[in-house]
Each structure stands twice: as C-alpha cells, then as structure tokens.
Amino acid sequence: MPILAAQVTNPLQITFVGTVIAVVFLASIVGVLGWMLRLPKETERTRTATRAVRSVNKLTRILVPLLSKNEATDRIVALAAQMVQSRGGNVELLAVIEVPFTLPLNARVEEDEKRALELLNRAESVARKCAGMNKTGVNKRILKARNAGPAIVREAEMQAADVILMANTHVRVRGNVQQINPAVDYVMKNAPCEVLVLSRGQAGSAQNGAGGEDALGKVTAAGSAR
C-alpha cells in the first residue's frame, strides 16, 4: 500500500519585497529613536542662560546687613530666605553697632545694643516665616565697629559670603538728590562678592521716602564672585 509523504514547506520564506519592507521599517524606528534622543544644538543664548542659572544656584551663603528697621529691610531679608530655601543654604543676619572714637570699642551702648537686637529678632522672624523653620539656616550676630562699611566687608570675607543683600537707607538730602548711605557705598566698592541693593525709586525720593515704591537694583562691587 503506497504511503503518501507530506509535503514540507518553509514558513520563513525570504522574498525581495519582504526584505525591503523590513529594512524600511527598521530604518524608520532608528530614525524616530534618533530624533527623540537627539540633543538640541547649543547656542550662545542657551550657554548664557545655563551660566546664569549655575551662577545663581551657587549662592548658598548670603550675608544680610541690617542698617535700619523698615519695610525695605524686611523685603531684602525675605528675598535672602527665599533664595536659599531650595538650596539648603544659610542667611547670615548682621547688625553693626557703630561705636564713636570717644569710647572704647567694647563700651556698653545699651540703646544701640537694644536697637540691634530688635533688628535681628525682626529679621529672623521674617526669614523663618518666608522659608520655614526647617528649610533655612538663619544665623544672627551683633558686631561692634567704628564704621559699619568696613565691618560688613570684613564679615563677608570671614564668612566666605557668596552675595551680600542689603537695603539702602538715604542719610541726607541735597536739594532733590538723596545721598547713598556711606556703609552701602563702601560695601559696593570693596565687597569680595556680589552685592544686591534694594533702593527706593523715584516715587519714594519725591515723597521723601513716604509711601513710595522700592526698586530692586543689582550692583556688582569690586571683587570676583565665587
């Protein structure tokens, strides 16, 4: 009795058309993946933005000299606290007591010491309210010196401050021009790091500081920023 043999066929027949389709499909996948993973071309604008972001992110130690008790000082303290909030940095609050040359440097000046303590406590309250008790390190210090400007610069050097934030308080008026605080002027010219000054704008000057708007201006002092 004859036995019928089953015809064996190859299920993986390779044809020219199938090869072309496979090559096209593979090329499209590679092209899509290449497009998804392709890095954008860096331009001068993007390089500038990257440098600016990196520079700001390095500002983790901020020195805030407290020259007076007013809204401008509160705002500059709040700004300092917000700057270090996400970086785990520190805000160094500094109150300088200027001791006249007629007294020894370590003399007790109770009224000035009381005022300095009030400045520090108020600034600490503002900083902690803005950034939270556990998110920002706030340090306070009272320093006695002959002149506030050199004392602030020396403190910035000792604390290795990345930036100094301070509010300008005009000390006198000549005609319609308000003069900059000598301590602020000295710090801007001699600071070892960048200096950010909150200064009252023209509206405030015209009203002699009553109810005017504040303008935030950046001033880079002598010395290189870290």
Closest CA to 93 of 57, 118, 59: 118
Please determine, for residue 197, whether its predicted confidence score (pLDDT) is greater than 60. yes
Give the total residue count for the chain.
226
Cβ contact 67:169 at 8 Å: yes
pLDDT tens digits along 77-109: 999 988 888 777 889 999 999 888 888 888 888
Cβ contact 196:219 at 8 Å: yes
Q: Which amino acid is at 23?
A: V
pLDDT at 221: 42
- The lowest-confidence range among 7-16, 148-157, 192-201 is 7-16
Residue of 31 and 94 predicted with greater confidence: 94
pLDDT tens digits along 34-84: 777 766 666 777 667 666 666 666 778 999 999 988 888 999 999 998 888
> Distance between CA 65 and CA 69 in Å, rounded?
11
pLDDT tens digits along 149-185: 999 999 999 989 999 999 887 665 556 556 778 899 8
> Is residue 176 exposed (0-12), middle (13-18) or buried (19+ Cβ within 10 Å)?
exposed
pLDDT tens digits along 117-126: 999 999 999 9
In this prediction the pTM is: 0.67
> Distance between CA 90 and CA 161 in Å, rounded?
10
CATH superfamily of 57-219: HUPs (3.40.50.620)
Place of tokens 């007013």: 70
Mean model confidence pLDDT for the chain: 77
pLDDT at 19: 78
Give the domain ranges of the chain.
57-219
Residue of 201 and 77 predicted with greater confidence: 77
pLDDT at 116: 92
- The lowest-confidence range among 6-20, 97-111, 134-148, 196-210 is 196-210
Continuous segment of H or E residues that includes residue 91:
strand 90-98
Please determine, for residue 224, whether its predicted confidence score (pLDDT) is greater than 90. no
